[in-house]
């Protein structure tokens, strides 16, 4: 068989994470004819699966071939499951099959090697996939652990969503996996029912977005639980989405082959069934850096920064999305107000290094530098904090003052304060 070419785009900014996968050659149809997962006990109607919500990403625990647990992102924007940590493949002595070539956004044209791995047993609570196929990366180029702030070993996507009706609660953070054949949707009028269209192992919604005071457009959006942002719109799509007048030029993240640049702005609102969500922070990546050879045209994507404001039921088997507002429905959408990007390092991912300082930002004015290690923020040792908690502090309020103690790359201790500033 010819090699499969898998195109990957990764946005990895301070509050933005987007992973889009498009297959030019998909897995054989027979592998997708029946659900990949099933309940261990035949009469089970649903199982509960706790998860960790880290940086607006769903992290679930799974066992592979009886070993683990391993941590996986649950990502409806992914059409095939991926092992991102090569150490897992090596430890489990998984046999590799056909070669896979990975390409992404950026200047380099050199692909990343990966391999297909078949017949992996995957256990999610009381649900099991007896023989799942993965694409195993040859090296951990995505470095998801450093971004999320905990060990991440891979990504689960379509295989889970096509097997169950997936109900997501964020407080407390838990999933319910329902048997599609016996599932009955809630009848309360508080629930919005939105049709889903399934194409190439991913789902799309069509809804209206009010871009500014005078322009409202119907847009086709990828449903993407693996995106930490609220909304992303592609100015190069068929809808010809315009850039907002008030916008912030930003490095939105990193692709496999270089930086991803674009703009951050706000849209007036988006309609999700009977509910309207106002003033969303929205990313507008540069057209030439996001155009993928995808078989399904789209205008952008819905991310979990938006979906987490609802109790969310993702129902691939019945082609529908159900939403009911939760307690954080009216929380404002905010972007980073400090001007630094932070990654987690160390064996326990509890050391935090500044990756980048944005010019003319509060962090730059405070004298913070790349490779500074954050030790204390407002008298709280960072070793007792998660990367998610640090992120919340960095966009916690316009004009709020934060006091930092950092360790310089040369070992020198440095203290400073900065005043957060809303830029968009």
Q: What is the pLDDT of residues 60-76, one digit of tens each?
A: 999 999 999 999 999 99
The two most distant CA atoms of the chain are separated, in Å, by 62
Q: How many CB atoms lie within 10 A of CB 393?
A: 18
DSSP strand pairing (320-325 vs 310-315): antiparallel
* Under 8 Å between Cβ of 102 and 137: yes
The model's pLDDT over 150-169, given as tens digits with 9 standing for 90+, comes to 999 999 999 999 999 999 99
Q: Which residue has the tokens 């045209």?
A: 297
b/e code 194-208 from CB counts within 10 Å (16+ = b): bebebeebbbbbebe
Domain 4-181: give its CATH code: 2.40.70.10
Q: Two tokens at 280?
A: 């969303």
Q: Which residue has the tokens 């992120």?
A: 391
* 377-386 CB contacts, 8 Å cutoff, 24+ apart: 377/402, 377/403, 377/404, 378/402, 378/403, 379/403, 382/350, 382/351, 382/352, 383/350, 383/351, 386/54, 386/149, 386/150
Q: Is the pLDDT of residue 125 over 50?
A: yes
pTM: 0.89
Q: What is the C-alpha to C-alpha distance for residues 114 and 96, in angstroms, rounded to an integer? A: 9
Residue 139 has a pLDDT of 87
* One-character DSSP codes across 341-368: EEEEESTTS-EEEEEEE-TTSHHHHTT-
User: Would you identify the CATH topology of the domain 187-325?
Assistant: Cathepsin D, subunit A; domain 1 (2.40.70)
Q: Which residue has the tokens 């155009």?
A: 291
Q: What is the C-alpha to C-alpha distance for residues 323 and 311, in angstroms, rounded to an integer? A: 6
User: Would you identify the CATH topology of the domain 340-419?
Assistant: Pdz3 Domain (2.30.42)
Residue 288 has a pLDDT of 64
Q: Would the CATH topology of 187-325 be identical to that of 340-419?
A: no
Average pLDDT over residues 189-202: 94
Q: Which residue has the tokens 């329902």?
A: 178
The model's pLDDT over 383-420, given as tens digits with 9 standing for 90+, comes to 999 999 999 999 999 999 999 999 999 999 999 999 99
Residue 291 has a pLDDT of 55
Confidence of residue 251 (pLDDT cuts 50, 70, 90): confident
Least confident of 1-5, 55-59, 86-90: 1-5
DSSP strand pairing (57-64 vs 112-124): antiparallel
Average pLDDT, the chain: 87
Residue 160 has a pLDDT of 97
Least confident of 112-126, 314-328, 404-418: 112-126
**Nearest one of 34, 9, 3 to 21, comparing CA atoms:** 9
Q: Two tokens at 350?
A: 């509890």
Domain ranges of the chain: 4-181, 187-325, 340-419
Average pLDDT over residues 324-350: 95
């Amino acid at each position: 068989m010819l090699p499969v070419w898998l195109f990957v785009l990764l946005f990895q900014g301070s509050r933005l994470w987007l992973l889009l996968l498009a297959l030019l050659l998909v897995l054989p149809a027979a592998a997708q004819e029946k659900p990949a997962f099933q309940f261990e006990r035949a009469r089970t109607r649903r199982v509960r699966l706790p998860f960790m919500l880290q940086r607006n990403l769903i992290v679930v625990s799974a066992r592979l071939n009886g070993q683990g647990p391993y941590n996986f992102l649950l990502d409806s924007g992914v059409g095939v499951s991926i092992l991102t940590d090569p150490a897992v493949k090596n430890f489990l002595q998984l046999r590799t099959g056909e070669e896979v070539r990975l390409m992404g956004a950026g200047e380099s044209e050199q692909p990343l090697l990966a391999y297909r791995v078949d017949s992996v047993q995957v256990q999610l609570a009381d649900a099991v996939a007896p023989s799942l196929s993965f694409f195993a990366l040859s090296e951990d180029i995505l470095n998801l652990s450093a971004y999320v702030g905990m060990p991440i070993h891979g990504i689960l996507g379509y295989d889970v969503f096509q097997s169950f009706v997936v109900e997501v609660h964020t407080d407390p953070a838990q999933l319910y996996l329902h048997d599609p054949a016996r599932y009955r949707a809630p009848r309360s009028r508080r629930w919005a029912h939105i049709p889903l269209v399934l194409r190439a192992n991913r789902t799309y919604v069509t809804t209206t977005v009010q871009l500014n005071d005078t322009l409202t457009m119907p847009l086709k959006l990828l449903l993407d639980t693996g995106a930490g942002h609220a909304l992303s719109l592609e100015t190069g799509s068929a809808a010809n989405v315009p850039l907002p007048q008030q916008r912030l030029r930003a490095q939105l993240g990193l692709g496999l082959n270089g930086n991803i640049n674009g703009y951050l702005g706000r849209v007036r609102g988006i309609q999700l069934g009977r509910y309207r969500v106002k003033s969303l922070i929205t990313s507008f990546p540069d057209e030439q850096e996001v155009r993928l050879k995808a078989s399904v045209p789209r205008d952008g994507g819905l991310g979990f920064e938006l979906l987490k404001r609802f109790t969310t039921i993702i129902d691939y088997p019945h082609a529908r999305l159900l939403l009911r507002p939760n307690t954080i429905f009216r929380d404002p959408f905010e972007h980073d107000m400090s001007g630094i990007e932070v990654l987690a390092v160390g064996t326990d991912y509890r050391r935090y290094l500044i990756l980048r300082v944005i010019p003319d930002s509060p962090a730059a004015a405070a004298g913070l530098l790349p490779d500074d290690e954050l030790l204390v923020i407002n008298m709280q040792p960072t070793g007792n904090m998660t990367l998610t908690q640090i992120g919340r502090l960095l966009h916690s309020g316009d004009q709020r003052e934060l006091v930092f103690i950092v360790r310089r790359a040369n070992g020198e201790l440095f203290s400073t304060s900065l005043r957060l500033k809303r830029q968009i």
